[in-house]
Amino acid sequence: MASMLLINSPIIAFTILLTVIFTVPPLFERLKIPGLVGLLLAGVVLGQNGLQLLDHESETVKLLSEIGKVYLMFVAGLEIDIEQFHRTKNRSIGFGILTFLVPLVAGIIVGRLFDFSWNASVLIGSLLASHTLLAYPIISRLGVVMNEAVTVTIGATIFTDTGALLVLAICVGIHVGEFSVMSLVTLLGGLAIYSAIVLFGFDWAGKEFFRRSGDEQSNQFLFILLALFLASVGAQIVGVEKIVGAFLAGLAVNDVLGRSPVKEKIEFVGSVLFIPCFFIDMGLLINIPAFIKTLSSIWLTVIIVVALIGSKFIAAFLAKLLYRYNTAEMMTMWSLSLPQVAATLAATLVAYQSLNPAGERLVDEGVLNSVIVLMLVTSILGPLITARSATLLQPTQRDFESENLAVWWGNSEEHLLEQNAYEFTVVVPVYNPQTQRYLIEMAALIAHHESGRILPLAITKAHVHMDDPELGTALEQSQQRLKLAREISQELDVEVSTAIRIDDDIALAISRTSREQNASLVVMGWSRTTGLRARIFGNVIDSVFWSSHCPVAVARLLSSPKTIKRILVPMGDLMPQTVGALRFAQILAHSNQAEVVLLHVCDRKTPTILIKNFTNQLSDIVADSKLEVNISIQTIRDDDVANVIIREASAFDLAVLRAVRYRTSGGLAVSEVTTQVVNELTCSIVLLGEPHSNL
């Protein structure tokens, strides 16, 4: 009786779901197992074959799982880098065709081998044809995202996912209705018109709405959600599955959102609530006796797994021959295209739940269970191979040729506005008198080195009436803060201008002022209470990082910057943003006659030759500097990067870190080194973000 009460109560079911989402994934990630595996197992344990605390048929689970399913495909479309696809469009389409058709044919052969109908066999082939970029955080961390083989594989995702969902729509349409050539033509025609409306109409509407709504993030968030569910409903009206509409909606608003805070919040909501509910529901669907029976007649599962792994390898090998890639690039392409999570799981569930007029499913429990095993195997195997093969890739020299680096190295005169008499301007928002001095000192050191100026900025929140006494009081307080800033600046022998701005939005006031003044750098204060622990800032700093036209340095300074003598710069990769952190440290060190140590922490299994190559490249970048700064490179082999940085930083006055966030295309957050390091460092910190950086 009690268990029935638990199953039928929406609030209790929702509470159980939240508890699982909160506790299970972190436990599995500590064991180096993907958190989604834990969610699946939790669904099995809590389902009908376990504790019977959750029921797949309950309205709460159904609703959250349905939202999670469309959200998963929406985020998959949202995460595809359209610009990157255009850069290698021809080769991406070529590899996309290979890594779609070869697994499709392999799946059809498997289906026919086990006596499935032609329609079901084609559907099984489409399940193998797509892929999820689960290992993207690994290649991003290694700094090889711009390698052509990697960009080609990422670009191919748009082709494989779209193709797989198109085949799904056709197969489901054939299964649930009476098939005829005319019905197929009607379905394809309707799908083509619908796709054009979503891709072009939603893109136009989104740009117009964002342009007119300015910075109202709450309304923009709701607009994107509305676009998602309108596209999903529209797909059902046309006669195709709603996940097709969700994926197209993701592609449509991709360009609208860019890397804005709104996109971060949309992904955040999906990854912490709806998408995990979908994976738990997948676990609830697993019938343990049927699953054991499937595994006892293991051949279907084994052959599906082998067919997927083999066909993806053949596609990568053909791409190697066609585009003259080396073995490391081929292995990276293969491993990136292996994981079968987002589109595969969502499409499998759709096919399993599709019933024809006779009540027959498009695919049976054997295929469903085999795909779950396939997901488990590939989601573990793919990233493991990527971690090995991607370390053999070397970043190309063009990766370091970034205009954004110029502002760190005194070459910014080419990018200055003619009317600005100063070649280098540092904007310093001032608010807290207790931290104001150290921030101004740091800005002054950098501005003095570059023969520039600092611009302390005081921001007063706007009121409806400009004669409001509270506004007058706030302006007086701003004047007092700027007076203190001028006094500090005079001590430091640096040119100083001050500014007061009345604005409704503090972050945009900072960004707009820095652009009006053609600032080269923004220096802001930060404390431990900032929401890095929550994995998104969700505050002023987050918005400034997004909207600023120039680099932003967020500083937590425990002592005067003039006393800094040892600076630690962790170098995980050689991406332009990381090199920007090095340039910042060099300028600060030259002003202070300080020492800089570049710390590279690598996996214990990293080949010695790769470490040597990385060190040589880093030495070349350092040698390009015209400043006489004492710089040394330290390499440590260890699997726990964060703890090594924290341990080594205890002997330094300042750590300069790059602000970066990694997230998988399935919307599943991946723990990052920076979060743990920032929370546990005991020395001063500068967190650097490039314009439009994805925090």
Instruction: Collect all residues with Cβ–Cβ distance below 8 Å to 607 and sequence separation of at least 6.
Output: 391
Answer whether 643's CB lies under 8 Å from 122's CB: no
Q: How far apart are CA 391 and CA 398, in angstroms?
A: 18
Answer whether 661's CB lies under 8 Å from 695's CB: yes
Residue 400 predicted with pLDDT over 50: no
Of the candidates 641, 630, 647, the one whose C-alpha atom is nearest the C-alpha of residue 567 is: 630
pLDDT digit string, tens, across residues 171-227 = 887 777 656 677 777 777 887 888 888 888 888 888 888 877 766 777 888 888 888
**595 vs 288 pLDDT, higher one:** 595
Domain ranges of the chain: 1-55, 76-274+286-393, 424-557, 564-687
**333 vs 59 pLDDT, higher one:** 333
pLDDT digit string, tens, across residues 72-103 = 778 777 777 676 677 777 888 888 889 999 99
Average pLDDT, the chain: 77
Q: How far apart are CA 355 and CA 361, in angstroms?
A: 5
Query: Backbone phi, then psi, for 352, in 5-degree steps?
Result: -65, -35
Q: Is 583 exposed, middle or buried (0-12, 13-18, 19+ CB in 10 A)?
A: buried
For residues 353-360, give the mean pLDDT.
75
Going from the C-alpha of 323 to that of each of 95, 310, 481, 589, the distances in angstroms are: 10, 20, 61, 45
Neighbouring CB atoms inside 10 A of 130's CB total: 29
pLDDT digit string, tens, across residues 558-584 = 888 888 889 998 887 766 667 778 888
The token pair at 604 is 């214990």
So what's the pLDDT on residue 555? 87
**pLDDT cut 70: percent of the chain above it:** 83
Tell me if residue 600 falls in helix, strand or coil: strand
So what's the pLDDT on residue 53? 81
Residue 377 predicted with pLDDT over 80: yes
pLDDT digit string, tens, across residues 95-131 = 888 999 999 999 899 888 888 888 888 888 888 888 8
So what's the pLDDT on residue 178? 59
**205 vs 464 pLDDT, higher one:** 205
Q: Is 631 exposed, middle or buried (0-12, 13-18, 19+ CB in 10 A)?
A: buried
Q: How confident is the model at residue 244 (pLDDT cuts 50, 70, 90)?
A: confident
Query: Backbone phi, then psi, for 147, in 5-degree steps?
Result: -60, 135
So what's the pLDDT on residue 410? 43
**132 vs 128 pLDDT, higher one:** 128
Instruction: Please name the residue that has the structure tokens 């080609």.
Output: 152
**pLDDT cut 90: percent of the chain above it:** 2
Of the candidates 40, 477, 106, 535, the one whose C-alpha atom is nearest the C-alpha of residue 305 is: 106
So what's the pLDDT on residue 314? 92
Q: How confident is the model at residue 418 (pLDDT cuts 50, 70, 90)?
A: very low
pLDDT digit string, tens, across residues 615-669 = 887 787 777 777 778 888 888 888 778 888 888 888 898 888 877 554 443 434 4
Under CATH, domain 424-557 is a member of which superfamily?
Answer: HUPs (3.40.50.620)
Domains 424-557 and 564-687 share a fold: yes
**574 vs 684 pLDDT, higher one:** 684
Q: What is the DSSP letter of 558?
A: S
Task: Name the amino acid, one letter, at 157.
Answer: T
Q: How far apart are CA 509 and CA 478, in angstroms?
A: 14
Task: Considering the domain delimited by 564-687, tell me its CATH architecture.
Answer: 3-Layer(aba) Sandwich (3.40)
Q: For the chain, report the end-to-end CA distance as a whole number of angstroms.
A: 48
Q: How confident is the model at residue 312 (pLDDT cuts 50, 70, 90)?
A: very high
Residue 599 predicted with pLDDT over 80: yes
Q: How confident is the model at residue 64 (pLDDT cuts 50, 70, 90)?
A: confident
Q: How confident is the model at residue 318 (pLDDT cuts 50, 70, 90)?
A: very high
Q: How far apart are CA 125 and CA 118, in angstroms?
A: 10
So what's the pLDDT on residue 55? 78
Q: How confident is the model at residue 143 (pLDDT cuts 50, 70, 90)?
A: low
Neighbouring CB atoms inside 10 A of 205's CB total: 15
pLDDT digit string, tens, across residues 500-558 = 888 777 878 888 888 888 888 888 887 544 443 334 334 677 777 777 878 888 888 88
Instruction: Please name the residue that has the structure tokens 């699997």.
Output: 639
The hierarchical CATH code for the domain 76-274+286-393 is 1.20.1530.20
359: left (phi over 0), alpha (psi -120 to 50) or beta: left
Instruction: Collect all residues with Cβ–Cβ distance below 8 Å to 475 and sequence separation of at least 6.
Output: 460, 500, 502
Flag the least confident range among 13-22, 227-236, 263-272, 650-659.
Answer: 263-272
Q: How far apart are CA 526 and CA 439, in angstroms?
A: 10
So what's the pLDDT on residue 364? 79
Q: Against a cut of 0.85, is the pTM above it? A: no
Residue 405 predicted with pLDDT over 70: no
